[in-house]
Amino acid sequence: MSQDWSCLRIAIMGPFPPRPGGVSVQCEMLSAQLTAAGARVTRINTDVRWLRQAGRLGHLLLPLAQVLWLLWQMLRSRNEWQVLHVHVASWWGFMPAVVGLMAGRRRRLILSTHGGAAAAFLQRWQWLVRSVLRRYHAVLTLTPTQAAIFRQHGISADIVPNIVPVERFHFRLRGPLTPRILWLRQLEPRYRPHDALDVLLQVQQQAPVATLSLVGGGDMRCEIGRRIEEESLQGVYLHGPARSHEIPTLYAEADIFLNTSAIDNLPLTLIEASASGLPIVSTDAGAIPDLISDGVNGLLAPVGDTRLLAQHIVQLLNDPARAQQLSRAARRNAERFSWRQIAPYLARAYALNPPIP
């Protein structure tokens, strides 16, 4: 059934670009898709960018300033929307959910949870999370794994995955492969960029011309750069953060996508890489097995098992038919996350009329 989005007046509360990370990309994408569908969208940005750049004093003032900033944005725009969709993570990233309760009784409150730290956060702060979420009309998680974690703590949640504009990513069938490996995440400890370097070194023992493009900003950028220089690592290209319009080209130029994260939920990069036809080699961190079925549309290894990750890559280099199989399956997998597939679930959460069957 076709949905009339023109009756929807909604505020999206979450981080927006240029704030890095998958949540900001998703908030931007959701806002753009809803607007294109005819909805009236208000953006409430949780990122106090200028304060984050103000050094130590800025970071000390950030918690209070962020609360005041969100309250001001909500009060200023409250006549423009009837639905508030809040996007949160764990720990301090949960704070917007608390602020969202001040939107007023006559507004529908929707909450989407992101990130891979939900289990530890709920274990510590279950009483707070339950007291806040019971006042939301719908709680949305990205994966079955995350939904199960919330259910263990007595919180009902519906599964509504991220949206990816798969048409933006040109599909190219891979196989036979050239050993051009792409790693695209923030250079932070939870994504284990050192593991990516270790994987490359092992792959180069079998394929000396193998290259690795590390794309992303983050706190470990200088540390990774020093290691590349001190160990005279060959075939490593350390890029800064990629702009949105550059990302499809990065995928198009690579032949294998490597993900080494230790904590994850539903990473957009894996879906985007899949849409481009890149064979996926990844850890099985968090809810990644909900997205990638080992041996079906990607190859998985335990977190930190760089030997197996490297073996997977070498296997793909030596088996063109296998690479082609995973390439085709990756694109099919990514198409599950198109706007057309996800929109009915959002419409149900927003309680639009007529209802989605």
Specify whether 60 is located in the same domain as 112. yes
Query: For all residues of the chain together, what is the average pLDDT?
Result: 92
Specify whether 187 is located in the same domain as 203. yes
Kindly state the average pLDDT of the residues 174-178.
92
Kindly state the average pLDDT of the residues 131-140.
95
Please report which confidence band the pLDDT of residue 355 belongs to, taking 50, 70 and 90 as the band edges.
very low
60 pLDDT more than 70: no
Which residues on adjacent β-strands are paired with residue 181? 212, 256
Q: What is the pLDDT of residue 3?
A: 73
324 pLDDT more than 90: yes
Specify whether 332 is located in the same domain as 344. no
Cα separation, 42 vs 40, in Å, equals 7
Q: What is the pLDDT of residue 92?
A: 85
Amino acid occupying residue 101: L
Q: What is the pLDDT of residues 14-48, one digit of tens each?
A: 999 888 788 998 999 999 999 999 999 999 999 87
Q: What is the pLDDT of residues 77-127, one digit of tens each?
A: 999 999 999 999 988 889 999 999 999 888 999 999 998 888 889 989 989
Specify whether 248 is located in the same domain as 296. yes
Cα separation, 211 vs 209, in Å, equals 6
Residue 83 lies in a domain: yes
Specify whether 80 is located in the same domain as 202. no
Specify whether 129 is located in the same domain as 20. yes
Residue 6, classified by CB atoms within 10 Å of its CB into exposed (0-12), middle (13-18) or buried (19+), is: exposed
Residue 34 lies in a domain: yes
CA distances from 101 to 9, 40, 66, 95, 159 (A): 18, 21, 15, 11, 22
Q: What is the pLDDT of residue 230?
A: 96
353 pLDDT more than 70: no
Specify whether 45 is located in the same domain as 147. yes
Q: What is the pLDDT of residue 2?
A: 60
Specify whether 345 is located in the same domain as 330. no
Domain that holds residue 61: 5-163+338-350
354 pLDDT more than 60: no
Please report which confidence band the pLDDT of residue 201 belongs to, taking 50, 70 and 90 as the band edges.
very high
User: Which CATH number characterizes residue 328's domain?
Assistant: 3.40.50.2000
Q: What is the pLDDT of residues 207-238, one digit of tens each?
A: 999 999 999 999 999 999 999 999 999 999 99
Using left for φ > 0, alpha for ψ between -120 and 50, and beta otherwise, residue 192 falls in left
172 pLDDT more than 80: yes
For the chain, helix, strand, coil in percent to 5 are: 50, 15, 35
48 and 69 in contact (C-beta within 8 Å)? yes
Residue 140 lies in a domain: yes
Q: What is the pLDDT of residue 357?
A: 41
Specify whether 103 is located in the same domain as 190. no
Residue 100 lies in a domain: yes
Q: What is the pLDDT of residue 59?
A: 61
Residue 356 lies in a domain: no
Q: What is the pLDDT of residue 21?
A: 80
Residue 325 lies in a domain: yes
Does this model's pTM top 0.75? yes
The lowest-confidence range among 62-66, 173-177, 295-299 is 62-66
Specify whether 65 is located in the same domain as 135. yes
Specify whether 185 is located in the same domain as 231. yes
Residue 355 lies in a domain: no
Residue 357 lies in a domain: no
Q: Tokens at residue 156, please?
A: 């009902």
Kindly state the average pLDDT of the residues 317-343.
96
Query: What is the tally of structural domains in the chain?
Result: 2
Specify whether 197 is located in the same domain as 140. no
